[in-house]
Chain A
Amino acid sequence: MDILSMFEHTFMIRALIIGIPVSLCASLLGVSLVLKRYSMIGDGLSHVGFGALAIASAFNLTPLPVAIPVVVISAFLLLRISENSKIKGDSAIALISSSALAIGVTVATLRNGMNTDISNYLFGSIVATSDFDAIWSVCLSGIVIILLRIFYNKIFAVTFDENFSKATGIKVNFYNTVIAILTALTVVLGMRIMGTLLISSLIIFPALSAMQVCKTFRQVIVTSAILSVICFFIGISVSYTAGTPVGASIVLANLTAFVIFTVVKNIVSH
């Protein structure tokens, strides 16, 4: 199959329009989340997002307007939990995520059986997205990127040394909340394509790969953003030509990049 032919399909174009900005946001936020040891929040949010989407679909509601507020509120809660105690926070997030997943599956099954909607939410799909999703995705990603640009230095400071920032009068809670809300938006948007079970890799992988070789925060941010978009594109192309599941293909592209970066790092340091 010819790769270029993928641009002839509306659903592929739509997938790119949704996916590229979302991968960009995910990778930018990912740097901060990974460094703050908050990666679990992304995972927890995606499960809550699944619960919300499944319930919305069971009652024939438009998915995004239901999922976004639910996930944003959960982001507040998860952040508070992780702040209060680092170790117990992990288990609390795991409890919340599996409960949300269970509630979603149960409600959806009781209403109309395990249908393709549910499976799409779990593993992602390109055909299931709508124009409405695409518009939301572009607008929200735009907002996320603008806010990240505006708060870039503050987010660096809060990520690098939260105590110093707090001690010298920076509103640390405000910036942590901004990060959590932006993550919530990104997770909900990305879930449609990546699936609940795979979306957190979009957040974690590019940042981890970039951290292998980069020496400054700016380099990490830029590298992980570029890497994320490239991997998304490779993943979706492979999925289109080889018929592999889209979310999984993108994760595998990211995994390959991670392995390459790790090898490069080890060669360079020897």
Chain B
Amino acid sequence: MLSVLRCNNVTMSYDGNTVFKDLNFEIHRGDYLCIVGENGSGKSTLMKGILGLRSASYGEFIFGDGLQQTEIGYLPQQTGIQKDFPASVWEVVLSGRLNKKKFLGFYNKEDKKIAWENMEKIGIPSLKKRCYRELSGGQQQRVLLARALCSAEKLILLDEPVVGLDPVATAQMYTIIKNLNQNDNMTVIMVSHDIISAVNYASHILHLSVSGEIFFGTTQEYQHSELGSRFLYHNCHCDDCEKHKLKHIHQSKP
């Protein structure tokens, strides 16, 4: 089977400071990959690398299976760059359709229909006329998700989509993403702090860590891996997990 994205021996760095090294993984159409790891382990940097916003200092990202950049959706990590930007929610959501336009950027009926459907899917039709900068962080996040859905056809990348959301909205967000993945066969790459939900929903896990340890594999494999058993604190008593626990206890003894 052709892979949608292959990450080939990638090293990324800022001004010579390596963030992660020799990263290798491969995902296929319909996969749901969660990228987990501590703050500063390079999750957002990896996203930027995949999206071509930052080039790798070594290695390469290879898109396959006929994937075009214009079929990608992206939900950036909330950064507050657009904090005082005057724009209506409708203008923002609709702009997700622009990557389908070759040169001119006029919206047609279909664009408006798709934008509206996505707003309904996320449950934000009532925000249509509101000013984006006057919304709460969680509402802004949902507007940006609607925009991402407008541009995504085959692959969607989400950087910490549930940060700042209330529990109801969080559950809703996970359900929307799950449906997208299962019903629309959309490939999902999501950065998350919420490791429990990651394990619940994802098919694959990529674990980055500041120390440089990396895990990539299926969720099942992850649960019984060294990094996984350490981060999940679960009560699995299989041989592998017991071995990891013993090792960890020995290491942390003074």
Contact = CB atoms under 8 A, between A and B. Distances in A.
B53 A156 contact: no
Residue among B53, B69, B85, B86 with max Cβ neighbours from chain A (10 Å): B86
Residue among A153, A161, A164, A169 with max Cβ neighbours from chain B (10 Å): A164
Interface of B is mostly: mixed
Nearest to A216: B88
Interface in B43-90: 48, 51-53, 68-70, 72-74, 76, 81-82, 84-88
A215 B151 CA distance: 24
For this complex, into which size category does the number of interface residues on chain A fall? 20 to 34
Contacts of A152: 105
Interface stretch (B17-25, B32-40, B91-99, B190-198): B91-99
Interface residues of B, number: 35
A169 B70 contact: yes
B110 to A, nearest CB: 15
A154 B98 contact: yes
Given A163-B76, A167-B72, A220-B86, A153 B95 contact: yes
Nearest to A154: B105
B14 interface: no
Given A160-B92, A218-B91, A167 B131 contact: no
A217 B87 CA distance: 5
Interface string B152-196: 000001000000000000000000000000000000000000000
Nearest to A164: B74
A166 B151 contact: no
Given A214-B86, A219-B86, A157 B74 contact: no
Given A168-B99, A214-B86, A215-B86, A156 B91 contact: yes
B82 A160 contact: yes
A157 B53 contact: no
A217 B84 CA distance: 12
A150 interface: yes
A165 interface: yes
A219 B90 CA distance: 13
B72 A169 contact: yes
Interface of A is mostly: helix
A217 B86 contact: yes
B95 A156 contact: yes
B105 A167 contact: no
Interface string B96-107: 101101001111
Contact of A161 (B76, B94, B107): B76
A267 B121 CA distance: 37
Contact of B87 (A151, A154, A156): A156
Contacts of B204: none
Contact of B91 (A151, A168, A211, A217): A217
Residue among B76, B81, B87, B107 with max Cβ neighbours from chain A (10 Å): B87
B73 A168 contact: yes
Contacts of B92: 160
B109 to A, nearest CB: 15
12 contacts: A151-B104, A153-B95, A157-B95, A160-B82, A165-B99, A167-B52, A167-B53, A168-B74, A168-B99, A214-B86, A215-B131, A218-B88
Pick the 4 closest A-B CB pairs, nearest first. Answer: A169-B69, A153-B105, A215-B131, A169-B70
